[in-house]
């Protein structure tokens, strides 16, 4: 099947996705901050990754990348030791943030690709159904014409 060039339009309202990305980061931040006394430095990325993947699924790569961009400074400031301050970033911090960014961005692009293919499949079904209806209607019209024409005289 020919590739649908409008597949990037699978999400009808990307503008709302950017707002939802900001709201999602806020909720992920609040949940993580609420759990901070109990889990301290463990799982600094977990809730932010879940948020970003959900945003990618519903709104696409753009809002998901915004979510990553907002999350990285929040994670490094609030949830990596020393807490509540930006200090010299060591190699451990860089590796954690690099893994978070690359893993999440990769998942976002894969989700985007799958959603576009899902959109292509839906469009193919709609086109196939409309072509079938046209074919049935055309067949019925041809049968009517055949019935109305007089038989050939010999």
Each residue's pLDDT tens digit, 47-82: 999 999 999 889 988 899 999 999 988 888 888 777
Q: Quick check: 48 and 86 in contact, CB under 8 A?
A: no
Average pLDDT on 93-103 reads: 83
- Percent of the chain surpassing pLDDT 90: 23
C-alpha torsion sign, points 81, 86, 92, 94: positive
Say whether pLDDT at 24 is over 70: yes
Give the pLDDT score at 6. 60
Say whether pLDDT at 154 is over 70: no
Hey, how many other C-beta atoms are within 10 angstroms of the C-beta on 4?
Answer: 18
Contacts of 36 (CB under 8 A, 6+ apart): 78, 79, 83
* Extended strands (E) in 1-154: none
Confidence of residue 20 (pLDDT cuts 50, 70, 90): very high
Q: Return mean pLDDT, the chain.
A: 83
Which of the pair, 84 or 122, is modelled with greater confidence?
122
Give the pLDDT score at 1. 47
């Amino acid at each position: 099947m020919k590739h649908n060039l409008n597949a990037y339009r699978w999400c009808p309202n990307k503008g709302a996705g950017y707002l939802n990305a900001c709201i999602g980061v806020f909720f992920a931040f609040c949940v993580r901050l609420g759990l901070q006394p109990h889990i301290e430095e463990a799982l600094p990325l977990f809730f932010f990754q879940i948020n970003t993947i959900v945003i990618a699924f519903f709104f696409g790569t753009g809002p998901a990348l915004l979510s990553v961009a907002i999350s990285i400074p929040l994670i490094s400031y609030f949830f990596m030791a020393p807490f509540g301050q930006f200090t010299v970033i060591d190699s451990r911090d860089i590796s954690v943030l690099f893994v978070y960014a690359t893993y999440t961005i990769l998942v976002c692009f894969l989700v985007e690709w799958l959603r576009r293919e899902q959109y292509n499949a839906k469009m193919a079904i709609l086109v196939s159904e409309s072509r079938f209806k046209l074919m049935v209607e055309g067949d019925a019209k041809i049968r009517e014409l055949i019935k109305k024409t007089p038989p050939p005289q010999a």
